[in-house]
A and B are shown apart, each in its own frame.
Chain A
Amino acid sequence: MPKLSIRGGVHPDEHKLTNEITITRVPTPERLYLPLKQHIGAPAAPDKVIHEIIHKGQIIARAQGSVSANIHAPCSGYVEQITDWAAPHPSGLPTRTMVLVNDGRELRDDVSTPVNPLFLRPEVIAERVSQAGIVGLGGATFPSAVKLTLGQSRNTPVLIINGCECEPYLTCDDRLMQERTQAVMDGIQLLAQALYGPDTIIAIERNKPEAIRLMEIACKDFGNIRVMAVPTRYPMGSEKQLIEYITGRQVPAGKLSADIGVTLHNISTAYAISNAVRHGKPLTHRIVTVAGDAVKRPGNYEVPIGMLISDLLAFCGLKEEPQRILMGGPMMGQALPHAEIPITKGCNGVLAMSRAEVKNSTEHPCIRCASCVDACPIGLSPLTMAAMLKKDKLDQAVDIGLKDCILCGSCSFACPSAIPLVHYFNYGKGELLIRGQQQQKDDEIKRLIQGRQVRMAQQEKEKEEMIAKRMQAIAKRKAAEKAAAEQNSEKEIA
């Protein structure tokens, strides 16, 4: 049973000014910078060496371990170097990155595609999604194939396609649904096929009437696929909130959505899956919303993954020096230290914000107005949590729900005192991570020491046994010698 609304949330100014601008294809720049870790899980390992020639769509780095993703070349050319380059993160710290030089020839290997992928076995679809290096393109970047396999093993009866796009400014999913309705629909069908035909719901926020209309037309022939218009309220597009709104059930803490029978995929992911499974095109490009008051030609751009944001902004033009450059939406996006950072798979928006757009208020003391409590979609008390983290009382903050926080930013948005609540929670989560790693390290050291002790004891025991054995052998030999000597002497006597 669907709920009437989600708990809390906020309604920021939408700024969806680019929702009527057609997607433009951006020419591939001279160099592309592909970080080996663009997804949740282990970084991919380079599959090409320096100076090796590559063709468009070839795997250049392979997934490592069960949760990881392949990376493909968005252009033809060669690998120039494998180096450390600024990561798409506020710190801009370097991460292993493959630098490709584009020869502009667009050479591509022939790939065989099935006549009709809708007849493929679910496991094969998941395998092809995995091959194509597709990850959750809404921003979470969790490998999609892992999700599909999980859904297959748990047999989830509900598939939700997330077309909410609740972040302000961003319109890439909206444009995708409007312009490439058939391909999106094809991806959704493939997803449904991969999950043994679940009840499929395409959730779209009501502020995208054109996308809703077109998607409704596209799925009217399918009994098990339908569109659901959901209220325009941030963070409607958050997995937990959307699942609760649609199914009326909450994902229990520490469990996965598959545990309550729901698989959730993003609209862009569905589109990428159609490209991969039907046309054999791996994930090498994505739609990125470029917006913000500092941009001269805002819009949605089809960008090769690995393109530097500076190149993209140069293509779109800048009116003024941006006050802040964001990767993602304004609510949860990362502020970047500079623009020499590549577009990755999870990047759905690049915002160049002008001075006037960025919030710029002085922090006041908390007046306990509870705006944050009302805004929190999870039901936390952000003011109390922040007060505890301020005093570095990490355990107390965890007790009242730090781990449940999804960092959506509704609390900070609503706060009249302009307290950077999310900053505190990020700090707290970072400390937890460090603590967890330390714990893991300690456990590992303990395990090694214990192992060594056991080994030493074993060796000691073996040594003793060997000595005992030898002693026994010597004794035996001596006894034998003695016996022989006695015999000999007896013989002699005889």
Chain B
Amino acid sequence: MIRPPSSPHIAGRSSVPLVMLLVLLSLLPGTMLGIYQFGWPALFLFLITIGSAVLFEAICLKIAGKPVRLYCMDFSALLTGWLLAMTLPPWAPWWIGVLGSFCAIVIGKQIFGGIGQNPFNPAMLARTVLLVSFPLEMTSWIAPRPFGTADAPDAAAGWSITANGIPDLDAVTSASSLGHLRTELGRGELLPDILSSTYDPLASAIGTINGSLGETSAILFLLGGLFLLYKRIISWHIPVAILTTVAAMASIFSLHDPDHYAGPLFHLLNGGLMLGAFYIATDPVTSPVSNLGKIIFGIGAGLLLFIIRTWGSYPEGMAFSVLLMNAATPLIDHYIKPRIYGHPGSRIGQFFRKLKKEG
């Protein structure tokens, strides 16, 4: 006898592993460009980070008595490790990657009950822990030196960098564009002077600048994000809300005082904004479920990002702003829900509908 199962008896083609694989696929071009630019050490760190993330996941699943193979094959740990690797300085030592993966998978995810249960984005949680604990290692940026160029370390030298750290730290590192801007503004320099000497919008867009793997090519991550939009893996609400909020804030302030506030293009092309807007803030587990909720989440993250970048003590604030909005997600979900058919809806909703009708 057939055990009578519940309707519906057919299902869409979407599945968790497929979703994760498409996200990984869309990250690939930007990642490859980053690894190409920063050479062997970047590749080693990347592999160590994602490898340890999957390992920690497997260990946790084993301890929790969950089916290791089934849950590891959903590729979520791989994605978390990958996203974390995108936010690390490419020449950071190996233990940064391993420790980061530990923070992300064990503390950020599995302690809360595994996939779907974590209140904070694991990769951003890990990055924040690392940044606060190891400020030196986490801010040692190097200028791009692609494979095959004279400055590029060979495989052996690259492994030595990953294993033992950068030998002559001061000689190779330089500030990131956002960091440079912050230091110079602090010295009392005016913005046009700072930018004219060092800043090239095209380089920032393509990604031939220093930074983490995920902070280099704004264009490739934008394209990756558009691919995810096209595939309906993510919805437009969060990225559009974040990007327009940041652009609007930057426009207002730079128009008001162009000597001290960078314009919208600078903000959009530099730092981890593109990666953050399309890949980090859209993490379904830690963002609201309703469309209006997503827009509120995006606006909040955009505002916080701009505030931290402009007036905070860190040059970049993607991780902080996402984590803060993650904390607000349950609250947003509690108050912002879609209107149920045939019901009058919330008071906020009624107010907006009335406006719409009159306007």
Residues of A within 8 A of B (CB): 7, 10, 12-13, 90-92, 168, 240, 244, 250-255, 323-326, 330-338, 351, 353, 357-359, 361-362, 364-371, 373-374, 376-381, 383-384, 400-401, 404, 407, 409, 412-418, 420, 422-423, 426
Contacts and interface: CB of A to CB of B under 8 A. Distances in A.
30 contacts: A7-B341, A10-B12, A90-B4, A240-B341, A244-B341, A251-B342, A331-B7, A332-B7, A335-B2, A335-B4, A337-B2, A337-B4, A359-B10, A361-B11, A362-B70, A367-B16, A367-B76, A367-B115, A367-B284, A367-B285, A369-B284, A374-B235, A376-B338, A379-B337, A379-B339, A379-B341, A413-B11, A414-B14, A418-B11, A426-B6
A339 to B, nearest CB: 10
Contacts of A365: 114-117
A337 B2 CA distance: 6
Interface in B99-137: 114-117
Contacts of B342: 240, 250-255, 404
Contacts of B11: 359, 361, 412-413, 415, 418
Which of B1, B19, B116, B289 counts the most chain A CB atoms within 10 A?
A: B289
A417 B2 contact: no
B70 A422 contact: no
B290 interface: yes
A250 B9 contact: no
Nearest to B342: A253
Contacts of B338: 7, 373, 376, 379-381
B14 A416 contact: yes
Contacts, number: 160
A325 to B, nearest CB: 8
A326 B10 CA distance: 12
B74 interface: yes
A413 B289 contact: no
A364 B4 contact: no
Given A331-B9, A378-B341, A412-B8, 17 more contacts: A240-B342, A253-B342, A253-B343, A255-B342, A324-B5, A330-B7, A334-B4, A335-B7, A358-B9, A364-B71, A367-B16, A368-B285, A374-B291, A379-B340, A381-B338, A416-B14, A418-B11
Contacts of A12: 10, 12
A338 B341 contact: no
Interface string B260-290: 0000000000000000000000001100011
A373 B338 CA distance: 8
A69 B11 CA distance: 36
A409 B8 contact: yes
Nearest to A338: B1
Contacts of B12: 10, 12, 413-416
Q: Is the interface of A mostly helix, strand, loop or mixed?
A: loop
Nearest to A255: B342
Q: Is the interface of B mostly helix, strand, loop or mixed?
A: loop
A96 to B, nearest CB: 21
A2 B116 CA distance: 39
Contacts of A240: 341-342
Nearest to A426: B6
B296 to A, nearest CB: 14
Contacts of B196: none
B15 interface: yes
Nearest to A382: B289
Contact of B289 (A323, A335, A381): A381
Given A381-B337, A381-B338, A416-B19, A371 B5 contact: no
Contact of B15 (A384, A416, A426): A416
Contacts of B71: 364
B244 to A, nearest CB: 21
A333 B10 contact: no
Which of B7, B15, B18, B289 counts the most chain A CB atoms within 10 A?
A: B7
Contacts of B290: 370, 373, 381
Nearest to A92: B4
A417 B289 contact: no
Nearest to B114: A365
Contacts of A333: 7, 9
A374 to B, nearest CB: 8
A370 B285 contact: no
A404 B343 CA distance: 9
Nearest to A369: B284
A475 to B, nearest CB: 71
B116 to A, nearest CB: 5
B6 A418 contact: no
Nearest to B291: A374
A253 B340 contact: yes
Contact of A370 (B2, B114, B115, B289): B289
B285 A336 contact: no
Which of B9, B12, B18, B116 counts the most chain A CB atoms within 10 A?
A: B9
A401 B10 contact: no
B350 to A, nearest CB: 14
Contacts of A415: 11-12, 14
A384 B6 CA distance: 19
B341 A404 contact: yes
Interface string B291-328: 10000000000000000000000000000000000000
Contact of B340 (A251, A334, A401): A401
Contact of A416 (B16, B117, B339, B343): B16
A409 B7 contact: yes
Contact of B14 (A323, A326, A371): A371
B116 A367 contact: yes
Nearest to A409: B8
Contacts of A376: 338
Contacts of B5: 324, 335, 420
B10 A330 contact: yes
Contacts of B4: 90-92, 334-337
A377 B6 contact: no
Contacts of A380: 338, 340
Nearest to B115: A365
Given A338-B1, A364-B74, A381-B289, A422 B341 contact: no
Contacts of A361: 11, 15
A176 B289 CA distance: 42
3 closest A-B pairs by beta carbon, nearest first, are A409-B8, A90-B4, A423-B6
Interface in B2-37: 2, 4-12, 14-16, 18-19
A373 B340 CA distance: 11
Given A335-B5, A338-B1, A401-B340, A168 B15 contact: no
Contacts of B18: 416
Contacts of A336: 4
Contact of A413 (B8, B114, B117, B339): B8
A338 B3 CA distance: 10
Interface in B63-85: 70-71, 74, 76
Nearest to B288: A370
Contacts of B285: 367-368
A373 B337 CA distance: 9
B353 to A, nearest CB: 12
B2 A323 contact: yes
B15 A370 contact: no
Contact of A373 (B1, B9, B289, B339): B289
